[in-house]
Structure 1
Amino acid sequence: MGLLDTGLRLVAVFVAFLTLPLLVGQMEHKAMAHMQSRLGPMHAGGFHGWAQLIADGVKFAQKEHVVPEHADRTIFSLAPAVALLPYLLVLLVIPLGPGLVALDLDIGLFYALAVLGVGVLGSVMAGWASANKYALLGGMRSAAQLMAYELPLVLTAASVALAAGTLSLTGIIGAWSPWWLLWQGTGAVIFFVAGLAELHRPPFDMPVADAEIIMGPYTEYTGLRFAFFLLAEYAGIVVVCALTTVLFLGGWRGPFLDAQLGWLWTLLKVFALAFVVVWLRTSYPRLRSDQLQKLAWQVLVPLALAQLALTGVIRVVMS
């Protein structure tokens, strides 16, 4: 019975992995169409452009797979999977509701952060293996961005673990209280911003700056391989928003009926944060490389260290 229950949980996570990123992508199409008065995504297929996502999928499936002559074929082919699969592995430890988690690890936060950083390596691999100078530049920018923003991401997550006294994501939700927003709010903003930077989402999309380096590490990719990179981006949005929800917004805890409607509160928070991701894309211009690095090292890292120190002081006082 235990094996059957575990299998059902794994299947549920896999289904969520296949559907939630697509729903975020559809929401981005619609939200950007409204914000920028773009008519196309609002009319594809008829009622409110319901077929836009299907049209995109058919378009990618019809495109020819092209591999550059001088590319490293093995690394070139593996890069989309390396970019996509880590987000599936992270979803295994994210609790959707009370008891609704595939793997309830005692070190779930450590595991999630360790695996989350692997996804960026797919972009680095793609840039190096493509035998294209623009792709290589994009891969180098991805590596530099990862090193800059991984530190504030980990520091703010460590602050939450220190406050909760556990690395278990379920335990963190159990220790959470609304007043955390008063002294962990800065950490929440830092974690969310650093997560967007690791995903290369605007305004932190220097590695794929189309006006400068075409599509960065994805320049030579076509068809379904390119679609996997796009799916990895949307899956990353789901994971970053879900981790922000669990660490800072109480996860499944809502105004009422947490045990019965916990999964609903979690999804509402995740999609609210995903909407903020879309809103930032349409509202802010892309940062320059030097601005991006300065934001990380001169603003986010000092603030993350201050947040960690504040958490330590409050823990000592409360004990």
Structure 2
Amino acid sequence: MKDFFSGMLSFLLLMVLVLVGVAFLTLLERKVLGYIQIRKGPNKVGMIGILQAFSDAIKLFTKENTYPSKSNYLVYYFCPIFSFLLCFICWSLIPFLWCMINFNFGFLFFMVCLSMGVYGVMVAGWSSNSSYSLLGGLRAVAQTISYEVSLAFLMMNMLILSGSYSLLDFYWLQNFCWFLFTSFPLFLLLFTSMLAETNRTPFDFAEGESELVSGFNVEYSSGGFALIFLAEYASILLMSLVVVLMFFGGETSSALFFIMVSFLAFSFIWVRGTLPRYRYDKLMNVCWKSFLPVSLLYLVFYFSLKLFIMMSMF
């Protein structure tokens, strides 16, 4: 019973810390995009606008919650909650100092949770009973499923290198040599796949403002929109942390680890302020004609190399 309560307390503490991190990530994004576009970002609420994210959160959660009259209300209502909780289930798998959940097949569980994220977007778009949101949901499904294939093969390469399904083993195996040096092309491919996985520019087709008003979340307001927003930005931090974990290792308590995670999260914002949105057919071409062949070739190479090393040992 004591372990149960300590685990629940750790999970609640993690949720609070991630939500605070998300608040400051949104503030960082608005400030950085402001300077990229040669203007000032938020600078009125609090000192240099530092309380802007919290005032936005209070505004969103206290507004009146509207919903379409012909929507599937129950499903429409629970989709943002499902996306939000799924993101935090993935967060609980990261083995911090207090070791939230660390089991031997943590990596497989992470992949399963990652692949379930598409249901929240798809069903949110469908249950709103709006053509814009339905199109946004369908595009998100096609995009996410396409990139899940290459993403799975890219992560399988890292599993072959580590020889374990446990996320904790990535720490100990990279004390002497980072996987970044042996698999730099995979790092670039994985980072790009993460952009597509989190629906970020230049792959934000689920939220195309120019053609779909806002995409799958166009009918959401107040708390529902805020939960979708929080899940997206918590996913950005999570993906940054997982990429750093797989290619740099290191203790999660070290300052260098958090600096690298912060820089990778900053890269998501940097890409958004720099690159225009891709065309949809080009996105699919990049996935099926570039990412998938390269990840498969690396998989064959690493598997053959590991097989050769094992045979030479005997």
Fold match (TM-score > 0.5): yes
Separation of aligned partners in 1, 2:202 and 2:74: 32
Q: Output one character per residue of 1:52-101: Cα deviation in whole Å (capped at 9) or x when no partner.
A: 212322331343211111110011101101221111001111123xx442
- Given that 1:186 and 1:307 are in contact with CA atoms closer than 8 Å, whether structure 2 keeps it comes out as no
Separation of aligned partners in 2, 1:193 and 1:57: 29
Q: Show the counterpart of 2:262.
A: 271
Paired residue type of 2:21? L
Cα drift, residue 263 of structure 1: 4.0
- Given that 1:124 and 1:139 are in contact with CA atoms closer than 8 Å, whether structure 2 keeps it comes out as yes
Q: Output one character per residue of 1:136-184: Cα deviation in whole Å (capped at 9) or x when no partner.
A: 1001001101111001111111111111110000012212242522332
Closer, same or farther: CA 70–7 of 1 in aligned 2, 3 Å: closer
Separation of aligned partners in 1, 2:269 and 2:25: 9
Q: Show the counterpart of 1:188.
A: 187
- Given that 2:35 and 2:41 are in contact with CA atoms closer than 8 Å, whether structure 1 keeps it comes out as no
Q: Show the counterpart of 1:95.
A: 95
Closer, same or farther: CA 172–3 of 1 in aligned 2, 3 Å: same
- Given that 2:125 and 2:216 are in contact with CA atoms closer than 8 Å, whether structure 1 keeps it comes out as yes
Separation of aligned partners in 2, 1:7 and 1:63: 30
Q: Which runs of 5+ in 1 are unaligned?
A: 254-261
2:300 aligned with 1:309: yes
2:51 aligned with 1:60: no
Map 1:284-295; keep pairs closer than 5 Å.
Answer: 284-295=275-286
What percent identity do the matched residue pairs reach?
A: 27
Q: Which runs of 5+ in 2 are unaligned?
A: none
Separation of aligned partners in 1, 2:225 and 2:4: 36
Separation of aligned partners in 1, 2:225 and 2:134: 16
Paired residue type of 1:78? F
Q: Output one character per residue of 1:268-304: Cα deviation in whole Å (capped at 9) or x when no partner.
A: 2211100000000000000111011111111111111
239-248 or 51-60: bigger deviation: 51-60
Separation of aligned partners in 1, 2:221 and 2:6: 39
- Given that 1:110 and 1:167 are in contact with CA atoms closer than 8 Å, whether structure 2 keeps it comes out as yes
79-88 or 130-139: bigger deviation: 79-88
Cα drift, residue 312 of structure 1: 1.4
Separation of aligned partners in 2, 1:293 and 1:73: 33
Closer, same or farther: CA 93–32 of 1 in aligned 2, 3 Å: same
Separation of aligned partners in 1, 2:244 and 2:178: 15
Cα drift, residue 128 of structure 1: 0.3
Q: Show the counterpart of 2:37.
A: 36
